[in-house]
Amino acid sequence: MERLLNFVYAYRAFFTFLLLETFCAWLVIQNNQYQGAKYFNSSNRMVARMNQTSQNIREYFSLVEINTTLAQENSMLHKKLEQREQALQFLQLNQVIDSAMFHRFDYVSAKVVNNTTKYYKNFITINRGTDVGLKPGMAVIGSGSVVGKVKSVSNHFAVLISLLNLDEQVSCMIKRTGHFGTAQWDGTDPSLVSLKYIPRHVQPAVGDSIVTSGYNAVFPSGIFIGKIKAFKLNNEAPFYEINVELGLDFSKLAFVDVIKSRLKNERDSIEQITIGELK
């Protein structure tokens, strides 16, 4: 404390000068409109910049929370969109809307905690499990595109079999023509999958959208997979060789939506019973 007092005393003339300069500046600002306006405008700009910088810092550290909120909102929007499409389909067919069909799918948002794209059989791990009702076989989408299916589940985690897996196949169709096929990865380029079983009488075109067919109770119909990048038809071959450019970059996958089909068990049960009776 004594050193501080000695320092102030030693430089008392300088501190007195600063005090008088500050007082003079205050008098100029208070008694001159132009100088006062310039001062307050400058100070407001400085404060605004400081507030903006502070806000940017707070937003940066809250990105995880923001992304989680956006993923949850995305799940709700997917659910509402699917319900709207189901309602329109029933109305176009002049049928009574059954509440069970209207609420056929539910969506659960999850964060990707592990993901591979460099192997022949790739898997994805997410941070949701049986605690939110996830089960093996459920469909998974991300950013409105097909991701894969749930393979195994624990209390708080689930492992997905990625679309970039040689064992994964998704029933799909060419949206423009309505012809059905199967999308399957060939183990080479993680941005491309093959569209199989499109017969030679079909006329595909580069840029045609490929979407899920809805032929199974896992994926809703119309979920985007990708667009046709190239195709060819060999002589006397019964099917086209078609490459589809995926609509999703799996290397940047951060959040996904797991689709819970409420009618899957009912559909699988009646199909198994009927097929068993015919055998």
Asked if residue 221 lies in contact with residue 212, where contact means CB atoms within 8 angstroms, the answer is: yes
Tens digit of pLDDT for each residue in 204-225? 999 999 999 878 767 888 889 9
Instruction: State residue 105's pLDDT score.
Output: 78
Q: Is residue 166 predicted with pLDDT exceeding 80?
A: yes
Q: Is residue 12 predicted with pLDDT exceeding 70?
A: yes
Q: Which residue has the tokens 């009646």?
A: 270
Q: Which residue has the tokens 């819970």?
A: 260
Separation between Cα atoms, residue 190 and residue 177, nearest integer Å: 26
Of 102, 124, 122, 104, nearest to 113 by C-alpha is 124
Tens digit of pLDDT for each residue in 106-140? 888 888 899 999 899 999 999 899 999 999 999 99
Tens digit of pLDDT for each residue in 23-57? 776 766 666 665 555 555 565 556 556 656 765 67
Give me the residues paired with residue 232 across strands. Answer: 241
Of 85, 81, 139, nearest to 110 by C-alpha is 139
In CATH, which of 3.40.50.150, 2.40.10.340, 3.20.20.10, 3.40.630.30 is domain 64-264? 2.40.10.340
Asked if residue 15 lies in contact with residue 22, where contact means CB atoms within 8 angstroms, the answer is: no
Instruction: Return the HEC string of the chain.
Output: CHHHHHHHHHCHHHHHHHHHHHHHHHHHHHHCHHHHHHHHHHHHHHHHHHHHHHHHHHHHHCHHHHHHHHHHHHHHHHHHHHHHHHHHHHHHCCCCCCHHHHCCEEEEEEEEEEECCCCCEEEEEECCCHHHCCCCCCEEEECCEEEEEEEEECCCCEEEEEEEECCCEEEEEECCCCCEEEEECCCCCCCEEEEECCECCCCCCCCCEEEECCCCCCCCCCCEEEEEEEEECCCCCCECEEEEEECCCHHHCCEEEEEEECCHHHHHHHHHHHHHHHC
Instruction: State residue 157's pLDDT score.
Output: 93
Tokens of 11: 């430089």
Of 144, 190, 196, nearest to 170 by C-alpha is 196
pTM: predicted TM-score of the whole model, two decimal places? 0.64
Tokens of 172: 């799909």
Regarding predicted confidence, which is higher, 275 or 87? Answer: 275
Mean pLDDT value across the chain? 79
CA atoms within 13 A on the CB side of 269: 5
Separation between Cα atoms, residue 170 and residue 184, nearest integer Å: 7
Domain borders along the chain are 2-61, 64-264
Instruction: State residue 47's pLDDT score.
Output: 55
2: pLDDT confidence band, cut at 50, 70 and 90?
confident
Regarding predicted confidence, which is higher, 193 or 213? Answer: 193
Separation between Cα atoms, residue 127 and residue 109, nearest integer Å: 9
Instruction: State residue 225's pLDDT score.
Output: 95
